[in-house]
């Protein structure tokens, strides 16, 4: 489960090496923010999203498995989660996210692979 959560889906349109920094992030029900940082390391890929004023400047960490589509021409990333799911995610720990396996597992469980709506498989 964890490896799928931290990898881009082959159907997402993401190509290794694409720089997603600055791309707009769209949840299933609206805009979430912009990509501040990302990684495309296989099995360890993620987006750090700056939510701006939407949730008071909070940053969130989205595993790459949440990405359902990347549109490079429009500079947009679409994720298969709702704004509330993203807003209520475990707090982003900028200094720990790369080294803390427990935190990454917490996020993997919270987001889960291919379970975008309220924890129920689609």
Taking the model in full, what pTM does it have? 0.85
Coil, helix or strand at residue 33 = strand
65-104 confidence digits (pLDDT tens): 999 999 999 999 999 999 989 988 888 877 766 667 888 8
pLDDT tens digit sequence for 4-54: 788 999 999 999 899 999 999 999 999 999 999 999 888 889 999 998 776
Going by pLDDT thresholds of 50, 70 and 90, the confidence category of residue 62 is: very high
Domain edges within the chain: 2-107
- Superfamily of segment(s) 2-107: PRC-barrel domain (2.30.30.240)
Contact (CB, 8 A) for 40 and 18: yes
Q: What is the pLDDT of residue 91?
A: 83
- Element housing 77 (H / E): strand 76-79
């Amino acid at each position: 489960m964890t490896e799928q959560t931290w990898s881009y889906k082959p159907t997402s349109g993401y190509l290794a090496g694409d720089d997603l920094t600055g791309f707009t992030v769209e949840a299933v029900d609206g805009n979430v923010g912009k990509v501040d940082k990302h990684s495309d390391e296989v099995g360890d890929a993620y987006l750090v999203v700056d939510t701006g004023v939407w949730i008071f400047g909070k940053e969130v960490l989205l595993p790459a498995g949440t990405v359902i589509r990347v549109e490079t021409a429009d500079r947009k990333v679409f994720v298969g989660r709702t704004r509330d799911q993203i807003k209520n995610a475990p707090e982003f720990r900028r200094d720990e996210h790369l080294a803390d396996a427990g935190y990454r597992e917490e996020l993997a469980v919270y987001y889960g692979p291919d379970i975008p709506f309220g924890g129920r498989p689609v």
